[in-house]
Amino acid sequence: MLDYNLSKEDMFYAKQFSELIKFPTVTRSGSENFAKMREKYKELCPLVWQNCEFTLLEEDVVILKWKGKSSDKPLVLMGHQDVVPAVGGEWTDPPFSGVIKDGKIWGRGTGDDKNSVYITMRAAEELMEQGFVPEQDIYLSYSDSEEQFGYGVENAKKWYVENEIKPNLVIDDFFAISRSN
């Protein structure tokens, strides 16, 4: 559960985000729920999926390339779609319910890390609605296995190397920031 202190204006975002919480994208649980969540993202952020080059790596690693004015110093915004299993704990509502009540969104992934994935994709969608073109290419890079062993990140890293993409700045989970230079 993450307390968002929702206003009426924020309900649009809260309702969209709560829809994403309903997908039990537990690490190594198979691709079905990840694929369903991708379809929901395509519905919620259609411009991102229309305007970005989409790559799906082994398992369910998603990379969306938003072409900028230049490819010299690309930015990578990372997050992960997977969650840990919802075993035990004191859940007042089912862990994949996405219930909105008392100004809070309840469910597995609200704080780690479906929020980062939604925020970056929603921001890109709204910027695209305004006709914004970034100065540099932006890669939205979403792993499927951060919660256990992180093999998805390794798959993404390998893809960036193979495609000779050298990020100038990488922001991961909005907690770790790395800069090459």
Q: Running DSSP on this structure, what letter comes out for residue 118?
A: H
Active-site residue, 146 included: yes
Neighbouring CB atoms inside 10 A of 72's CB total: 11
82 as an active site residue: the answer is yes
Query: Which amino acid makes up residue 164?
Result: E
Question: 8, 15, 5: which is closest to 122 by C-alpha?
Answer: 15
Determine which one of 82, 113, 137, 147 is catalytic.
Answer: 82
Question: For residue 35, what are the contacts with CB-CB under 8 A and spacing of at least 6?
Answer: 60
Choose, from 112, 144, 146, 147, the residue flagged as catalytic. 146
Q: State how far the Cα of 33 lies from the Cα of 36, in Å rounded to an integer.
A: 5
Catalytically active residues are 82, 146
